[in-house]
Amino acid sequence: MNNAVTDIYDALYARYGDLRWWPARTPYEVITGAVLTQNTAWGNVEKAISNFNGRLSPGFVLEEPDAELIEIIKPAGFYRQKAACLKALTKWFGGYGFDVQAVRGAPPGGIRAELLAIKGVGRETADSIMLYAFGFCTFVVDAYTTRLCRRYPVDAGKGYEAVKSFFEQRLPRDAGIYNRYHALIVVNGKTHCRKKPACGGCPLAAACGRNGV
């Protein structure tokens, strides 16, 4: 299937290869990271996860008093809201017996609706959890994605759901591809397609229209 979406993927993959995201040891660590990374740099998330001292687990989070959990995740910022969100997500996961396969066996639309009903879980967070923790075919849209679409340009529409649908309609239904694509967009966004772009050496430079640059 030849289209701008796959052309971008091919160019980015040729440059960066398989980045093997999400950087986590367990699906529950992905869930935790997806909450903690909201409105902060990943380095702060790593500091917060390190503060668990190897104790990060659903049982620990549920049993840890709110004040202590807040202190653990404080490096990630917005710690009160994130602590409450993490506890709520953990209770949700507990409804499936903390069983990844039980979640994966449920209808994706239902899982997404359940996640979005949790205070503090937006669409990007929900889709990140679904894709990276549970392997659902759901495309993650973030600021790097919308910036790429605007500059390349790719007429993906406006709003999260429109952009998500645009990519999903033009890619194979493959969670591995969705995983790699999101990672590639983020890495290229940090390296080249920044707020102040560094177009020199960008793997998309030959075809990018640099709209608005």
Which superfamily does CATH assign the domain made up of 27-133 to? Hypothetical protein; domain 2 (1.10.340.30)
In the chain, where the domains are located: 4-20+139-191, 27-133
Percent of the chain at pLDDT > 90 equals 94
pLDDT of residue 24: 87
* Rounded average pLDDT over 103-131: 98
- pLDDT, one tens digit per residue, over 21-32 is 888 889 999 999
Task: Please determine, for residue 120, whether its predicted confidence score (pLDDT) is greater than 50.
Answer: yes
Give the confidence band of 172 by pLDDT, cuts at 50, 70, 90: very high
CA distance 177 to 143: 19
pLDDT of residue 1: 45
pLDDT of residue 2: 53
* Rounded average pLDDT over 167-194: 96
Task: Please determine, for residue 108, whether its predicted confidence score (pLDDT) is greater than 50.
Answer: yes
First to last CA, the chain: 29
Give the confidence band of 134 by pLDDT, cuts at 50, 70, 90: very high
* Rounded average pLDDT over 1-29: 90
Task: Please determine, for residue 139, whether its predicted confidence score (pLDDT) is greater than 60.
Answer: yes
* Rounded average pLDDT over 158-180: 96
Average pLDDT value over all residues in the chain: 95
pLDDT of residue 212: 82
Q: DSSP letter string over the chain?
A: --SHHHHHHHHHHHHH--------SSHHHHHHHHHHTTTS-HHHHHHHHHTTTT--SHHHHHHS-HHHHHHHHGGGS-HHHHHHHHHHHHHHHHTTTT-HHHHHTS-HHHHHHHHHTSTT--HHHHHHIIIIIT--------HHHHHHHHHTT----SSHHHHHHHHHHHS-S-HHHHHHHHHHHHHHHHHTSSSS---TT-TTTTT---TT-
* Rounded average pLDDT over 158-187: 96
Residue with tokens 């679904």: 130
Number of Cβ atoms within 10 Å of the Cβ of 150: 15
